[in-house]
Amino acid sequence: MKHFILATAGHVDHGKTALVKALTGIDTDRLPEEKARGITIDLGFAHLELPGVSLGIIDVPGHEDFIRNMIAGLGAIDLALLVVAADDGWMPQTEEHWQILNYLDIRQVVIAITKCDLGDPVETEAKVRERIGSLGDVPIIRTSVRAEVGLEELKQILTEVCARLPGAPDIRKPRLFVDRVFTVRGTGTVVTGTLAGGQLARGENVSLQP
């Protein structure tokens, strides 16, 4: 079983969180403010089991005000799922997130055209392929959460992409890239994040690095 981390990317309100929920059954918007405003503010987390692959998913905010949180979610990912809505097309935060993926040298990208029931997915896909230029071999899947279109195809593409990725090396130097720190009553401080470079076991001592 291979283990990989995927992060979403894309413009606000293009359906990243809805797509993650449709794939995993997990609503990654957990904060009351996120529920009230209908947008993702902080990083959300989900998990998807695919044939031979265990995929951790980081759902990032798309709003320009929360770009720091978006970048924080990309710290140790293996691939990205760039979401573009068929009714809006390539928007400012789509472009910004795409540039960030390129700057961080994240080359494994799958693109999902969402809300295909609300726009012209053929035209949107053509414009997306024109925009990504030399990376034209990036898989693009047309989806609609509401119409339940393309979800199984997207899972299949993710499975195929992950199958080509090398497994994470165990160099016996585990590092946890911290995503969240919070307090649980009766337990204390809880830290979550992305583990790389090895494994951690219960009872091991760890060091906090700046």
Residues serving a catalytic function are 13, 16-17, 63
HSE of 167, CA atoms in CB hemisphere, 13 A: 10
Separation CA 191–CA 187 (nearest Å): 12
| R_g of the chain, CA atoms, integer Å | 17
Contact indicator for 37, 59 with CB cutoff of 8 Å: no
Q: Which helix (H) or strand (E) holds 37?
A: helix 32-37
The DSSP call for residue 65 is: G
Residue that is written with structure tokens 């998807």 in the block: 48
The per-residue DSSP string of 116-174 comes to TTTS-HHHHHHHHHHHHGGGTTS-EEE-BTTTTBSHHHHHHHHHHHHHHSPPPP--S--
Contact indicator for 88, 120 with CB cutoff of 8 Å: no
